[in-house]
């Protein structure tokens, strides 16, 4: 696919970036072959060069690209349960009163 006003190389980089973001969210790891296919690289060397330059937080071990390390480095925000429950109950009471 070629996007108007872009080169084939920049289109590939854009699609690779989108694929990477989706896979980081959905998978803990990918096999080398799956990663090459999903990120549109033709060789292991090309994939490993991309990882070294763009995602040094990933590990390549045992024929897999480990994405979990990237997830662990991003802190998770906790949602405070009590305030959310109280607010939801308040909305329910308001709706009940209106109806």
Q: Which of 50, 77, 78, 83 is nearest to 65 (CA)?
A: 50
pLDDT per residue over 35-46, tens digit each? 898 888 899 999
CA 19 to chain centre: 8
Band (7; pLDDT cuts 50, 70, 90): very low
What count of other Cβ atoms lies within 10 Å of the Cβ of residue 32? 16
Any idea how long the chain is? Answer: 99
Domain range summary for the chain, segments of one domain joined by +: 8-98
The CATH number of 8-98 is 1.10.10
Q: What is the pLDDT of residues 71-92, one digit of tens each?
A: 555 565 677 788 888 888 888 8
Question: Comparing C-alpha atoms, which of 60, 68, 62 is closest to residue 41?
Answer: 60
Determine contact, residues 19/40, Cβ cutoff 8 Å. Answer: yes
Residue-wise pLDDT tens digits, 56-76: 888 899 999 988 654 555 565
Helix (H) or strand (E) holding 30: strand 29-31
């Amino acid at each position: 696919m070629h996007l108007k006003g872009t080169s084939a190389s920049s289109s590939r980089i854009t699609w690779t970036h989108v694929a990477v973001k989706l896979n980081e969210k959905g998978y803990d790891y990918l096999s080398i072959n799956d990663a090459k296919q999903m990120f549109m690289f033709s060789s292991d060397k090309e994939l490993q060069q991309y990882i070294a330059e763009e995602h040094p937080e990933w590990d390549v071990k045992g024929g897999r690209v480990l994405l979990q390390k990237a997830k662990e480095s991003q802190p998770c925000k906790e949602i405070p349960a009590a305030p959310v429950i109280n607010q939801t109950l308040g909305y329910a009471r308001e709706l009940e009163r209106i109806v």
